[in-house]
Structure 1
C-alpha cells in the first residue's frame, strides 16, 4: 500500500476533533433541487453548518446556519417571501444574509448579517463553493449534468447520510467488482465475470476514469426487468471520478450487436450521478440520481430502475458503515491491495494532492 493511501486511511480513524483536511476551491454538491420547498434545509458540509432555501424569485441561497442574535439555527425557522425568519425572536434575513426586519423595533443593527455561501443550481443539482482564502469567489461554473435536462432520459434520486468518511464511498463506487458479491438480487450478476472483467484505468491531475467490459454475460435481474434483451449481453461500466462527484454509466446491449467502444451505442442505459460531500471527517452526505432510457412502459421501467438502484445503495451503505466501524475498532492497519483497487488508489492520491494545494 502506498504512503499516501496509508495516510488517508489513517485519517479516517482519527478523532473527530482533528483538523479537517478537505480539498478546497471546489464546487461540492449541497443538495438536489427538489429538496428546497417550503422549509429551510439545514445541512453540515465540510464541517460548516449551512441553511439552504429559495429566495422569492426561486433562486437557491445558502447562509451560515446561525442567527446572529441568539445563535438558534436558522434551519429551525420558517420561509417567507423576504427570506428566512429565525424561529426564536423572528429576525428576518434575506438571501444575501442581511437582516431586513427585527420585530418590535424599526432600527436594524448594522452588524445584523449572516455569512453567505455561493450556491448554484444546474441541471437540478445544487452546488456550493468552498474556496480557500485566496479563492473565496468561484473560479469556474459548477459542472453540467446533461442527462437530467436533455430529454433523452428519465431520472429520480435521493439523499443518504453515511456514518463513514467520504473517501470510503469513492472507493466503493470506483470498484464495481463488488457487484457480484454485494448486489446479487439487483445489478450484480456472475461474481467471477465481475472480478475478471476487462479493465483499463486512465487518470490526470484531477480525474480518474475506469472502464470495464463484460462481453457475452448473463444480464442481471435489474437489466432483464427493465429491457427486452434476447439472451446474453455485452455489458459495460464506465466510471468518471472527480473530487466532488462521480458519473457512472452502466448498461448492456444484446451480445454482438454493437461495439462497446461506440459512444452512441444503444441498448439499456443506467447513468448514475453520485455527489459525495463530506459532512465531517467521519460522516458524509451522498446525493444520487439514476437516469435511464426506457424502450417502452417508460414510467414503470423508470420506477423499477430507481427502486432497484435504491436497494443496491442500501446494501452499499450497510457494507461501508460496517467497514468503517471495523476500521475504528482495529485502528490504523495496513491493507493489502488487489487488481481492482487501481482506480480508488489513484483517486486518493488526487484528493491528497488537491488537499495540500489548497492549504
Structure 2
C-alpha cells in the first residue's frame, strides 16, 4: 500500500484530536423520501446534526438540528403545517429556518433563525448539499436514479448505521470477490470463481467502474430462490463508484444464452443503490435499495430478494465493524494489496483529491 493510501487510512483510525475531513461541494444522501412522515428526522451527516422534515407543500427541508433559543434538537419537536415546533419552549421554524412564532410573545426576535441546508428529492432519494466557503450554493443538480421511477423494477430499501468509517464501506462494495467467503447463505457461490473472475477497472477523475464476469458458474441461493434458472449461469457484477454513492448491477442469465456485454440482456437482475454518507470520521450511514425484475409472483419474489439482500448487508456490517475495531487495536500499519483492490484504491485517490480541493 502506498504512502498516500496509508495516510488516508491513518486519518480514519488516527488520534481523536483530528477533525473529520470529507469532500465538500457534493450532494450526499440524507435519507429516503418515505422517511419523512409525521415526525421530524434527526441525523448527523458529515459531522453536522441535521433535522429533516417535509413542509406543508410537500417539499423536503433540512435545518441545523438546534433551536436557537436553548439548543434543544429540533428533531425532538413536532411537525405542524407551517414547519417544525421546538419541543422545549415551542418556537416554530419554517423550512428556511426562520422563526415564525414565539409562544406568549408578540414580537419574534430578528436573530431567531437556524441555518438551513439545500436539500432535493429525486427518485425517492433525499440529497443534501454541504458546500465549502466558496460554494455555499449548489453548483449542479443531484443525480437521478431512474431505476426507482422507470416502472421496470420493484424495489425496497433501508438505512443502516455503521460503527466504522465510510471508506471501509466503499472498499467492501468495490471488491465483490469477498462474496464467496462472507455471503455463503445468500449471493455468494463458489469462492474460487469469485477470486478468479474476469475483471476490468475503468476510472476518471470522479468515478471508478469495476466490471466482473463469471461465466458458467453455479447460481447462488438468492438467485435460485428468485429465478427459474435451468442450470449453470453466466454472472455479471458491474459497480459504479461516485464519491457519495455507488450503483451496483448484478445478475445472471442461463449459461450461453445472452452476451454479458449486451446492456439489454435478460435473465435475473439486481440493481442496488448504495448511498454511503459519513456521520463522523469514525461512523457512517448506509442508505440502500435493491431493485429486481421478477418474472412471476412479483411481490413474493421481491420480498425474497429484499430479505436476502438485507441478510447480505448485515453480514457485511459485521465484517466491516470488526475490521475497523482491529484497525484501531493495531494502529495504521501497512497493509498488503492484492489484485482485487484496484477499484478501491482508485476510489481512495479520488476522495483524497476531492478533499484537497474542498
The bucket for the TM-score relative to the shorter chain is: over 0.9
Q: Tell me the SS of whatever aligns to 1:68.
A: coil
Aligned to 1:293: 293
How far apart are the structure 2 equivalents of 1:41 and 1:232? 46
Number of the residue aligned with 1:356: 356
Residue aligning to 1:226: 226
SS at match of 1:275: strand
Secondary structure in 2 aligned to 1:132? coil
1:2, distance to aligned residue in structure 2 (A): 1.4
Shift of residue 12 of structure 1? Answer: 1.1
1:178 matched to which residue of 2? 178
Indicate the residue corresponding to 1:4 in structure 2.
Answer: 4
Secondary structure (helix, strand or coil) at the match of 1:12 reads: helix
2:142 counterpart residue number: 142
Instruction: Please state whether the residue corresponding to 2:246 is helix, strand or coil.
Output: strand
From the superposition, tell whether residues 157 and 68 of structure 1 become closer, same or farther in structure 2 (CA, over 3 Å): same
Distance in 1 between the 2:96 and 2:338 partners? 50
Aligned mates of 1:14, 1:88 — CA distance in 2: 38
In 1, Cα distance between the equivalents of 2:195 and 2:271?
22
State how far apart, in whole Å, the 1-side matches of 2:133 and 2:61 are.
Answer: 21
Return the TM-score normalized by structure 1: 0.99
Deviation by residue 1:22-68 (Cα, 9 ceiling, x = unmatched): 00110000001111110000000000000000000110000000000
Q: For the Cα contact (< 8 Å) 2:93–2:99, is it kept in 1?
A: yes
The aligned residue for residue 251 of structure 2 is 251
CA distance in 1, matches of 2:289, 2:306: 8
Q: Does 1:318 align with 2:318?
A: yes
* TM-score, normalisation: structure 2: 0.99
Correspondence 1:6-155 to 2 at 5 A? 6-155=6-155
Give structure 1 regions of 4+ aligned residues with deviation exceeding 6 angstroms. Answer: none
SS at match of 1:336: coil
* 1:189 corresponds to: 189
Question: Which sits farther off after the overlay, 17-26 or 61-70?
Answer: 17-26
Which stretch shifts more, 12-21 or 57-66? 12-21
CA contact (8 A) 2:14 2:332 kept: no
Residues in 1 aligned to 2:3 and 2:331: alpha-carbon distance in whole angstroms: 17
What's the CA shift for 1:15?
3.1
Question: Structure 1: how far apart are the matches of 2:90 and 2:228?
Answer: 58
Aligned-partner Cα distance in 2 for 1:123–1:29 = 12
**Unmatched segments (≥5 aa) in structure 2:** none
Deviations 1:67-91 (A, max 9, x none): 0000000000000001000000000
> Residue 277 of structure 2 aligns with which residue?
277
Q: What CA deviation, in whole Å up to 9, does each residue of 1:105-128 have, x standing for no partner?
A: 110000000100000000000000
Distance (whole Å) between structure 2 residues aligned to residue 342 and residue 224 of structure 1: 30
Matches within 5 A, 1:200-211: 200-211=200-211
Provide, for residues 288-314 of structure 1, a one-character-per-residue CA deviation record: whole Å limited to 9, x for no partner. 000000000000000000000000000
Unaligned runs of at least 5 residues, structure 1: none
Say how many residue pairs are matched: 358
Q: Secondary structure at the match of 1:229?
A: coil
Q: Any conservation in 2 of the 1:201–1:210 contact (CA below 8 Å)?
A: yes
Question: Aligned partners of 1:6, 1:74: CA distance in 2, in Å?
Answer: 39
CA distance in 2, matches of 1:14, 1:81: 45
The 3-state SS of whatever aligns with 1:147 is coil
- Over aligned residues, Cα RMSD in angstroms? 0.5
Counterpart secondary structure, 1:133: coil
